[in-house]
Amino acid sequence: MGRDRETLLRKYHQARWDEEIICEMDVPGERGILVPEAEAGIQEAVGDGTSRIPENLRRKQPPALPEINQMRVNRHYMRLSQETLGTDVNIDISQGTCTMKYSPKIQEHVATRNPGMAEIHPLQDESTIQGILHVYYQFEQFLKEISGLDRFSFQPGGGAQGVFTNASMVRAYHASRGDHQRDEVITTMFSHPCDAATGATAGYKVVTLMPDDTGYPHVDAMKAAVSERTAGIFITNPEDTGLYNPQIKEFVDIAHGVGALCSYDQANANGLLGIARAKEAGFDLCHFNVHKTFSMPHACMGPAIGAVGVVDELKRYLPLPRVEFDGERYTLDYRGEPESIGRVRSFLGNAQGVLKAYAWVMQLGADGLREVAECSVLNNNYMLKKLSEVPGVVIQYSEEKRRLEQVRYSWGKLNRDTGVGTDDINRRIADYGIQHYWPSHHPWIVPEPFTLEPCESYSKDDIDEYVAVLRQISKEAYENPELVKSAPHNSAIHKVPAPSIDEPERIAVTWRQYVKKQAAKNSG
């Protein structure tokens, strides 16, 4: 048993439970929990409880939810979880740009089970939540030190909302100066698409710079892009390629030269902690994805944190409320700054997330954070070297250059040689117990792309296993391309259908839709 010591490959096979959809498991009358009636003393004090809910808010009929006992519900979701490859069961190097690092379980315990955290409410008087306000204040001091910027807000619930918040502050800044001619923002093709999208949402036109042969845009392209209409630049560095633009200061200076602000998308800062700061590169704003670099879970597009930071000159535009400290007590400032862009999320944002990230930083200390960056860059360049030896893999742009924390690779050569493309390999890796990898944002500039990020959490052995899988699939592609093209073979679903998600007649995303479409189908 165990992995083959020579090849490092596993004989993986995914569970397949053939479960019904939960709505089909309905047994009328069955209950998961029987809610006890309130005790006499309580009834006496507050009545039966339900009658206190206003009449017009009460359901006339019970909701049409499936009726299932607790054990069956539990079994159902355990089975479904076995048919997935989540971050805790596979080597999650696959999600390049997402920084899928290990989130220590102790943090989960502290943030969600410790009554001191789990049982507090944001509407409590601030004198009774001094603990979490202390954590907010301290974590802000950490991020100030890490970025060099002067104030932070943790309200945005994700990276894109963080960038949108920054775009809104850029807009507020120019408006407060009576400068209304600026209607454009600049980004780069290899920056995250939200840098373009949130600028557009904030009402700006978007100018995108294309990379040249080096992998990042030419300074002349930046010069051609700016004008008195430029409100700001929103860029990543290193970009998705993992290449650090060494001329970033020039880009920032060109933008400042026309009166624009510079916002640094540091969603993924894993290669930079303790090494390079937004301040020294001249940026006015930045944001960190706390669920990436600072180890809190990603939360599946749910409650994450896009921490936004600004220089002193812009702090009056930050969202409210802000946590203040007078040397003795922590307070919440709701009204201090009339020029604030206001709230971007209710209350203080995701307080559990801040606590997890705070705990993570406290475990590591300043030296530990720098070591995180060094390890993730070392891991990445080790993997880069190993993968550059795999037949069919191409290192696009500046091949001789070291990368920071991630690399966008290309199967372009393998595709030309064998007809096997990145989508095929993406299905095949599941047969070796690895979840599908992230190819690239659209459009694909690097042909047949795949983006990997072996952050500091992964050991040499983990990286070697991951590389061994890709080496094996490359070998299969050259020897027996059909094997790869017809993959996966060891997964819960053996044939992944080709239709894309924009085929409404074949895809239902809710039970109600499914029932409707089935009925329509059956009636011919």
Partner 1 sequence: MPRRTLGVIVNPVAGMGGRVGLKGSDGVEILRRARELGARPEAPGRMAQALKAVSQFQDQARILTYPGQMGEKSCTLAGLPATVIGRTEGEETAPEDTRRAARQMAAAGADLILFAGGDGTARDLYHAVGEEVPVLGVPAGVKIHSAVYAVTPRSAGELVALWLQRHLLRMRSSEVMDIDEEAFRAGVVRAKLYGYLQVPEENRFVQNVKAGGVVHEAEALQGICAEVLRAMEDPDCIFAVGPGTTTRGILQALELENTLLGVDVVRNRKLLANDVTARQLLDLIGGNRAKVVVTAIGGQGHILGRGNQQISPEIIRQVGRENLLIVATKEKLVSLGGRPLLVDTGDAALDQELSGYTRIITGYGDYVIYKVGY
Point out which residues bind partner 1 (CB under 8 A). Answer: 189, 196, 200, 204-210, 212-213, 217-218, 220-225, 416, 419, 423, 439, 442-445, 447, 496-503, 505-506
Of 358 and 411, CB closest to partner 1: 411
| CA–CA gap between residue 110 and residue 382 (Å, rounded) | 35
Q: What are the tokens at 480? A: 């027996």
Of 293 and 396, CB closest to partner 1: 396
Length of the chain counted residue by residue:
524
Of 270 and 418, CB closest to partner 1: 418
Of 237 and 440, CB closest to partner 1: 440
Smallest distance from partner 1 to CB 178, Å: 23
Smallest distance from partner 1 to CB 169, Å: 20
Of 205 and 402, CB closest to partner 1: 205
Of 376 and 426, CB closest to partner 1: 426
The 3-class SS string of 159-218 reads HHHHHHHHHHHHHHHHHHCCCCCCCEEEEECCCCCHHHHHHHHCCCEEEEECCCCCCCCC
User: How many other CB atoms sit within 10 Å of the CB of residue 496?
Assistant: 14
Smallest distance from partner 1 to CB 189, Å: 8
| CA–CA gap between residue 394 and residue 384 (Å, rounded) | 10
Of 309 and 421, CB closest to partner 1: 421
Of all helices (H) and strands (E), which one includes residue 308? Answer: strand 306-310
Smallest distance from partner 1 to CB 34, Å: 41
Residue with tokens 């159902």: 76
Smallest distance from partner 1 to CB 442, Å: 5
Distance of CA 330 to the CA centre of its chain: 30
Smallest distance from partner 1 to CB 512, Å: 21
Q: 332, 167 in Cβ contact below 8 A? A: no
Find, among 294, 299, 352, the residue nearest to 112 by Cα: 352
Smallest distance from partner 1 to CB 486, Å: 9
| CA–CA gap between residue 479 and residue 170 (Å, rounded) | 55
Smallest distance from partner 1 to CB 211, Å: 8
Q: What are the tokens at 127? A: 């004198």
Of 300 and 501, CB closest to partner 1: 501
| CA–CA gap between residue 326 and residue 335 (Å, rounded) | 17
